[in-house]
Every structure is written in structure tokens, then in C-alpha cells.
Amino acid sequence: MLKTKNLLGLRELEKDDINLILDTAESFKEILKRDIKKVPTLRGKPIVNLFFEPSTRTRTSFELAGKYLSADVVNFSKSASSVAKGETLKDTAITIQSMGVELVVIRHPMPGAPHYLAQNLAIPVINAGDGAHEHPTQALLDIFTIREKKGRIKGLKVAIIGDILHSRVARSNIWGLTKLGAEVVVAGPSTLLPPKIETLGVKAYTDIEKAVKDADVVNVLRIQLERQKKGLFPSLREYAMYFGINSRRLNQAKPDVLIMHPGPMNRGIEISSEVAESPNSTINEQVTNGVAVRMAVLYLLSGGGKIDEKGY
Ligand code: CP
């Protein structure tokens, strides 16, 4: 059983809980390989996905994860709800809880929105990305993918490259990977590195080649065009030239380096198509693993423990 009621971030998630989610996701990944993926584990459990920001991967994989577990999943978007008429986030969530919903997944542009809901609801809350703060299930699926490919996390060098300043994925990965004993380095233009990022236990570089030197994993972040203030770097063309991950820069990393990207990708800006489609790339497997990890999170936050092969 998890020690936590909610999944709000990896900063507050204990190492044992991280490992339990990863181990449980391994069992669910086996279920995903079957012709019929549906198991009765959460039969009839009402779950709502509250998405106040666009999403392809996270929203679809939470929906599929719930459906593969036989939960009753309802999707909610800002534009098609009474939020568009001025209803508050708290009133919306309490309304949903009053209908008998037993778990809420929320993505919101405001950092702390999931924490606010968790304080006001009796049911578990999962953070599916809150502003530039945290994206815990993305980091869990990234860590799951690294562990699956490399057999361990401890002692690996993981380089996170790009727009660290605006990245909830970077923050959650830093918390999770350092708890599990990885060496984490971050790199990008100085304007996209948060001040005092080293206090999170990472080294920071503005020279990409120094950061990727001897790396076991290079996780390339999206340039978040929608969150950029003007002038953080001269142009996308220059960003690609000085900070983009291409085959030449990757020569500095270990030959079996894993290339990761949380998506959606800006091809030709933060990552070249050649690198994204190289044999070292795990980008599509990250997406597959996202379903297994989210099944594990839904199951464990619903009170589940170790599962058997039937999904009970
Ligand atoms: N990685 C990620 O969060 O992607 P989406 O925005 O498509 O969910």
C-alpha cells in the first residue's frame, strides 16, 4: 500500500512509494502486452480527468489506464464546463465529488492547483501537471523506462537538457532520480536555468557537450513556446544551433545512451529528427510505459496492494 493518499509531486513522495509504483507498473505492463488488455481491478470506480490545459499523452493515457482497469472514466475540459461560466475550481471539484466520483486527475496551468484540491476534497487527487511546478507521472514513467532499459537508477548519469526554467518534467525528474541515487545534471541557456538550481542536488551547465559527456541518459525537454517571455534566447534557429541535441553533440555521451523526450517534440529545435528516431531513442516506449505507470498509480491510490496475474 502507498503511504500517501494523493500523488501531488515527487518532492513529497517517499522512495519506498516510488519503488512500489515502479514495481506495480511492471505487472501492469505485462497486462498491456495481452490481446485483451482489460482487467476488472477497478470495476465500476468513477474517475474524473479534469484537464484545464491541452494534453495528448497524459490525458489519453490516464483515460486508457482507467478503462483498462475497468473504471468508469469521465473526461472534463474547461471549455465544455461551467468553469467557462465563472465557476471556481473548488466548487467544480466539490460538485464532481458530490456525484460520487472517487478519484480526480487534474492538469492545471496554476502551480499548486492539485494541492489546493487535495486540501478541499476527501478523495485522492493526482497531479497531471501543474504549471511549471511538477508532473509526477511523467517523471515516474521516465524513471520506469530508464530502470527497464538500464536495470538500475543508482549511479547513472542523467542529463536533462533545455528549458529547465519552465519545466515541471525537469523538476519532478530531479526529485525522483536523486532520491533513487542517480547523478543528475541539467543544461540549457543561462536564461532558461532557474537560479540556485544546484540546491536541488544537480550540477548545471550552459555548455551542452559538457553536460552530456559520458551520460547514460539524455532527457531532452520541449522549448515551451507558450510559456516563454520575450528575449530568453535570440531565436529558435540559434537555440537549435547552440543547444539542440543532434548526433554530433551525442558523440560525447556513452555509446548506449538512452534518448528521451516527454513530448510533444519541436523537431529540429530542441532535438533533431535523426536523434529522435535513432535506435537509442526510447520516446515511443516512454508513451507505452506511461499507460502502465498510470494504471499503477490509479490502482495504488485506490487502495490496492501487490497485484496477481489476473489484475487483482
Ligand atoms: N508529456 C506530456 O505531458 O505531454 P502532453 O502535454 O501531451 O500530456
The DSSP element (H or E) to which 220 belongs, if any, is strand 217-220
Check 24, 29, 41, 58 and give the catalytic one. 58
Q: Which residue has the cell 495528448?
A: 56
Ligand 1 atom with the smallest distance to the CA of 107 is: 8
Cα distances from 111 to residues 62, 161, 264, in angstroms, run 20, 22, 20
Note whether 144 and 22 are within 8 A (CB).
yes
Look up 85 and say whether it is catalytic: yes
* 284, β-bridge pairs: none
Check 45, 115, 133, 135 and give the catalytic one. 135
Ligand 1 atom with the smallest distance to the CA of 59 is: 8
The DSSP element (H or E) to which 104 belongs, if any, is strand 103-108
Check 29, 45, 59, 107 and give the catalytic one. 107
Coil/strand/helix, residue 128 = strand
Cα distances from 227 to residues 28, 158, 164, 291, in angstroms, run 35, 25, 12, 27
pLDDT at 193: 96
Burial 11-39 (b: 16+ CB within 10 A, else e): eebeeebbebbbebbebbbebbeeeebeb
pLDDT at 234: 80
136's grid cell:
509526477
Residue nearest to atom 3 of ligand 1 (CA): 58
167's grid cell:
519545466
Note whether 99 and 76 are within 8 A (CB).
no
Note whether 276 and 259 are within 8 A (CB).
yes
Look up 222 and say whether it is catalytic: no
Check 3, 33, 85, 196 and give the catalytic one. 85
pLDDT at 148: 98
Q: Smallest Cα–Cα separation from 91: which of 83, 79, 99, 100?
A: 83
Q: Give the distance (Å) from ligand 1 centre to CA of residue 71.
A: 22
Mutation choice for ligand 1 from 51, 53, 56, CB with most ligand atoms inside 8 A: 56
Residues recorded for the chain: 312
Look up 261 and say whether it is catalytic: no
Measured distance CA(165)–CA(133) in Å, rounded:
10
Measured distance CA(131)–CA(211) in Å, rounded:
26
Note whether 177 and 169 are within 8 A (CB).
no
Main-chain dihedrals φ then ψ at residue 278, nearest 5 degrees: -75, 165
Measured distance CA(200)–CA(47) in Å, rounded:
34
Characterize the bridge pairing of strands 217-220 and 157-161: parallel
pLDDT at 224: 79
pLDDT at 79: 80
* CA-derived radius of gyration, the chain: 19
Residue nearest to atom 6 of ligand 1 (CA): 55
pTM of the model: 0.95
pLDDT at 142: 98
pLDDT at 159: 98
Task: Give the burial class of 199: count Cβ atoms within 10 A of its Cβ; 0-12 exposed, 13-18 middle, 19 or more buried.
Answer: exposed
pLDDT at 310: 62
Amino acid in the structure at residue 76 = F
Look up 58 and say whether it is catalytic: yes
Positions of the chain with pLDDT under 50: none
Measured distance CA(182)–CA(16) in Å, rounded:
16
Residue nearest to atom 4 of ligand 1 (CA): 57
Note whether 29 and 292 are within 8 A (CB).
yes
pLDDT at 227: 63
The DSSP element (H or E) to which 138 belongs, if any, is helix 136-150
Cα distances from 210 to residues 140, 198, 207, 244, 281, in angstroms, run 26, 16, 6, 14, 20
